[in-house]
Structure 1
Amino acid sequence: MFQRHKFFINLFIVMLLVAILTCCTTKTGVSEKEKGGELTVAVAEDPGFDQLDAASYNGLIQAYPMIYDSLVEYGEKGKILPALATSWEISPDGKTYTFYLRKGVKFSDGTPFNADAVKFSLERWRQKPEHSSITASKALEKIEVVDSHTIKLHFNICYYPILTELTYPRPVRIMSPSAVTPAGDPNGKFAKPIGTGPWMVESYTKDQQAVLVRNPNYWGEKPRLSKIVLKVIPDPQTRVLALQSGQVDLAGGRMSSIPPESLPLITKDSKLQIHRTEGSTSYFLIFNYNNEFFQDVRIRQAINYAVNKRSMVDNLLGGVGKPAQGLFQFTVPYVTERNNQGYPYDVNKARELLAEAGWKDTDGDGILDKNGKPFKVSLAFQNVEYPEWKPMCEAIQGDLAKVGIQVNLKMLERTAYYDELWKNRGYELIIYRTYSDSWNPHGFLAGLFHTAKGKPAVAWADPKLELLIDNVLSTMDETERQKIYDEIFHLIYEQAMCVPLYYPEEIMVVNSRVQGFEFGTTAYCPVKWERLFVTK
């Protein structure tokens, strides 16, 4: 009797366990833990998934690495990491790169990834005029398929950032030949985004939302989330309200910036968590080097001394980020404690330098003058992409007034601002930012401190600096390259070629039900999406 009773007890336990497991499993056989839930992410602009050609600049930049992999990836301080290429070799002359490709990889539509697919993708951007800003595009002369998993790229110059450029989020990532029509044609018309990345597109509604689901063929760490919804919310304050109401689970970074003034309110909300990390972008002032006021290095140094960056960070930016030292943050490759020099806040030193340069307040109106000309300059900015620039420029206006320089603020529409910076050059002072992550420091220096296509340098023109930039870009020896960058950074500091202002942080706000949050390594891979999961 006891044995029979024991049998029914054991049978009941087994049936109970089966019932529990069945309830915790979806119809597709995936447990709730494996499913990981769905995540809604705020984005500031239309993701543009109908135009997300891997060889284009269209759509949300953060979406590219979610869908498309690259041959190599960008790691901390610029370390190059394996991705679709497991290893590579560079010829002694620095002109030939041999990549050994990962085996067993498929695109999200099931088509095979191989050397022919890589060649197809590279041909879509190689030597195309719209990609002339990428040296790898201009210099790539020949693509040689050695075998199905080995490919050689032959360049016509020695240029050390080749590997770094191949980590860019676009336009260099690998897309399936079946993503265009006719299929396999490098000049074919883009049809739909098909990559080897962890996510693939389920649906897209313009200016409203895009939905990403797991790529069942993904070769790497499988995402825990089953779905990510990218919800378009252009207004920053509306994004904050959406976080507070639970309409979105995550916002922040470059894809959907959070206003600094909203952080104290968010901090008090128990449902939300703020995550912060160092960024790789800097804000700085550009001098118009054709302006007679700025020809004298003492004037440029005086302006550096006159700006109270610490007060700016503490009082205007909520203590988020850091006052800048040199032009680049310490997260940027080749930037060290020794070479990242800056000017401290010193009003008396600023006044002393201005007086040495012959500027005095002869009529007692509080504005310095020289040879009958008052020291009045304009400062251009925009506040659409960077709303914090307005209060920053107002603070600079006040700081420079203390040393006798009158600054007239000039707020521009976004398009007019970029025209002023790149085309018209009608400004006297203008606030700008460095590039971020894999574009620093080489791409930024070449883009703003070097002549290009016969046009003068944008930020500052100096023959010695341009020669140093040329030399560092063609140097394959790491030790020698560091020495040249040391010279470059010291020259920019010594000649006060700009006014470094602020090192922003990357900020993400996440609903407390979202677990596993980790920052990614770049602003275009801002989150390790595959680690996230959502609790009920």
Structure 2
Amino acid sequence: MRTNSKTNSLLTQIIFLMLLAVIMVTSGCSNSNNKNSSTPTAGSNNTANNEAAQAANAQDKVITVAISADAGMDQLDAGAYKGSMNVHAMIYDGLVEYGEKGEILPALAESWDISEDGKVYTFHLRQGVKFSDGTEFNAEAVKFSFERWIKDPANSLNVATAMQSIDVVDEHTITMTFTKAYYPFLTELSFARPVRMISPSAVEPAGDVTGKFIKAIGTGAWMAESFTTDQEAVLIRNPYYWGEMPKLSTIILKVIPDPQSRVLALQSGDIDIAGGQMGKIPVESVPVIEAASSLSLQKAPGTNSHFMIFNYNTPALQDLNVRKAINLAINKKSIVNDLMDGIGSVAKGLFPLTVPYVTDSNNTWYGFDPAEAKQLLADAGYSDSNGDGIVEQAGTPLELNFVLQQAEFPEWKSISELIQSELKEIGIAVNLQVLEPNAYYDALWTTKAYDLIMYRTYDDAYNPHAFLLSLFHETEEAPAVVWSDAGLESLIDTAVGTTDLQERQSAYDSIFTKLYQEAMFAAIYFPDDIMAVNKRITGFKAGYTTFSPIFWNQLDIGGE
């Protein structure tokens, strides 16, 4: 084939370029084996890929937790009472944190000073903290957070009603001045709401204390990602979190209103955790959970108790001997062991030992002694003159109406039936009235249409002070709910008002002694907090409050 000079030149250039490409490739291969070369080796590429894969796996640790009702993600304003308290506590931090048996621990405030008269609190804030949107946390943000709700006339917290002023000292120092000394100020500041910190950028216009809430932006370990009303809410870890970073990447809160359906979801593996106040596990389902190879039952002593209230307006119950007799007739061990399947313990007072200021020495109550109960009724002037098994006084049978509800506490029905039969054994006729929740709470708080009524104390941070003030202390509008006693109310005032720890403990000792001596209620049982956890979950540790029932940041997924 004949070619011209141009063609020969073009072929020469192509051949030269091909040879050059071969040389470059060969040189590249040679350099890849040179240990001193800056070019990564194949081995180092594999290492980088493995590290990237591990990081990806760490970013994809997801668990699903059952909740009984919608989390209200679109309503989670830190300064309001809407949405789930549990989610509030995951997204928003407080100045302080509630620890074991009520110990107040640092949170966004690293330390604090209290004036000698107990009215001025100076908080020294943690530095370098950011909200989940990257904005700075400082004293102005604290002031903003409090001013959004502190003047609301509907707010009954003492930290609100007694607040005289809140002042920024500098970027990381703020003072709160109150009109009175009240030791539970710090306890109230640990609540899940409305005392927690929200970013000024969470409202519109930004920084306006009267602005409209737009999005939940806190300094907590978790942040809201998405939600579907009445179905699920998704939380992801906050990349700016100031504390120990959560090991999980995502927590899905799945709405399952029916308790039995929650148990089935646990068994099928559709959810990983259920229980506590977020989504209770029925007591009768405990054996099923314990028998499941994929699940573990986690039990911890609770901070509330279930007890029976006496109506002090009922003439028969104004007699101390009758109140003591009722206490002595109730077999609390049988309730715990037979009806509660061992989930709890016998009540030895109004509060369990998990509550601050409750000790072994001041935590005592009446045992089970039907013979002594009968004798006390006889001492009170009651006898069974007609042989019908019911004692009477001056021709009037000792008959009492016992009110309860079972929508929130299904176990109350069987417990009340047992108490009914036990009181009949000592000659007291009891009529059970099972009411719907609205009617039940109306009878408790408003109409007083009962002689006996089942109730429960509050939980963790609200005990003992808030419960005692709420139910054993008069208000401007009404006398005490559970039992009206001026001496008891004076002791409660002393306990909450003193800044001296020894004086406070002494006052609580006297309160618990007086409750016992006057038999102002009938103790029933102290329930345990129970949770069912899939065994793939590691690092489970029960929290110290119902609004923070789990140390979420410590949870991990085993084998991943």
Pick one of 67, 89, 93 that aligns with 1:69. Answer: 93
Q: Does 2:144 match 1:144?
A: no
Q: Any idea what the Cα deviations from partners look like across 1:41-77, whole Å, max 9, x if unmatched?
A: 0001111111111112111111111000000001111
SS at structure 1 position matched to 2:531? strand
Deviation at 1:181, TM superposition (A): 1.9
Aligned mates of 2:501, 2:45 — CA distance in 1: 60
Q: Any idea what the Cα deviations from partners look like across 1:83-116, whole Å, max 9, x if unmatched?
A: 0000000011100000000111111111111101
Larger displacement relative to structure 2 (100-109 or 123-132): 123-132
Please tell me the residue identity of whatever aligns with 1:45: A
Greater Rg over alpha carbons, structure: 2
Pick one of 100, 107, 132 that aligns with 1:108. Answer: 132
Pick one of 408, 430, 433 that aligns with 2:453. Answer: 430
Aligned mates of 1:21, 1:385 — CA distance in 2: 54
Aligned mates of 1:374, 1:14 — CA distance in 2: 95
Q: Does 2:219 match 1:192?
A: no
Q: Any idea what the Cα deviations from partners look like across 1:151-184, whole Å, max 9, x if unmatched?
A: 0001010111111110011111111111122221
Q: Corresponding residue for 1:99?
A: 123
Aligned mates of 1:8, 1:177 — CA distance in 2: 56
Q: Corresponding residue for 2:71?
A: 47
Please tell me the residue identity of whatever aligns with 2:148: R
SS at structure 1 position matched to 2:148? helix
SS at structure 1 position matched to 2:63? strand
Larger displacement relative to structure 2 (314-323 or 35-44): 35-44
Q: Any idea what the Cα deviations from partners look like across 1:358-409, whole Å, max 9, x if unmatched?
A: 1111111111111121111111111122111111111111111111111111
Q: Does 2:211 match 1:222?
A: no
Please tell me the residue identity of whatever aligns with 2:211: G
- Cα gap change, 1:18 to 1:347, in 2 (>3 Å): farther
Pick one of 85, 104, 107 that aligns with 1:80. Answer: 104
The percentage of counterpart residues that share the same residue type is 52
> What are the equivalent positions in structure 2 for 1:54-453 lying under 5 Å apart?
54-132=78-156, 134-453=157-476
Q: Does 2:548 match 1:525?
A: yes
Please tell me the residue identity of whatever aligns with 2:46: A
Q: Corresponding residue for 1:30?
A: 55
Aligned mates of 1:119, 1:289 — CA distance in 2: 45
Contact kept? 1:39, 1:249, Cα under 8 Å: yes
Over aligned residues, Cα RMSD in angstroms? 1.8
Larger displacement relative to structure 2 (495-504 or 176-185): 176-185
Aligned mates of 1:424, 1:181 — CA distance in 2: 44
Contact kept? 1:36, 1:534, Cα under 8 Å: no
Aligned mates of 1:52, 1:287 — CA distance in 2: 38
Q: How many residues align?
A: 526
TM-score in terms of structure 1 length: 0.95
Contact kept? 1:67, 1:193, Cα under 8 Å: yes
SS at structure 1 position matched to 2:512? helix
Q: Any idea what the Cα deviations from partners look like across 1:462-497, whole Å, max 9, x if unmatched?
A: 000011111111100001111111000000000000
> What are the equivalent positions in structure 2 for 1:424-503 lying under 5 Å apart?
424-503=447-526
TM-score in terms of structure 2 length: 0.91
Aligned mates of 1:79, 1:17 — CA distance in 2: 50
Aligned mates of 1:15, 1:376 — CA distance in 2: 88
Deviation at 1:24, TM superposition (A): 5.9
Aligned mates of 1:180, 1:423 — CA distance in 2: 38
- Cα gap change, 1:194 to 1:410, in 2 (>3 Å): same
Contact kept? 1:36, 1:224, Cα under 8 Å: no
**Structure 1: gaps of 5 or more residues:** none
Q: Any idea what the Cα deviations from partners look like across 1:275-314, whole Å, max 9, x if unmatched?
A: 1111100000001111111000111111010000000111
Contact kept? 1:111, 1:176, Cα under 8 Å: yes
Contact kept? 1:127, 1:140, Cα under 8 Å: no
Q: Does 2:19 match 1:19?
A: no
Aligned mates of 1:192, 1:368 — CA distance in 2: 63
Aligned mates of 2:224, 2:137 — CA distance in 1: 19
**Structure 2: gaps of 5 or more residues:** 1-29
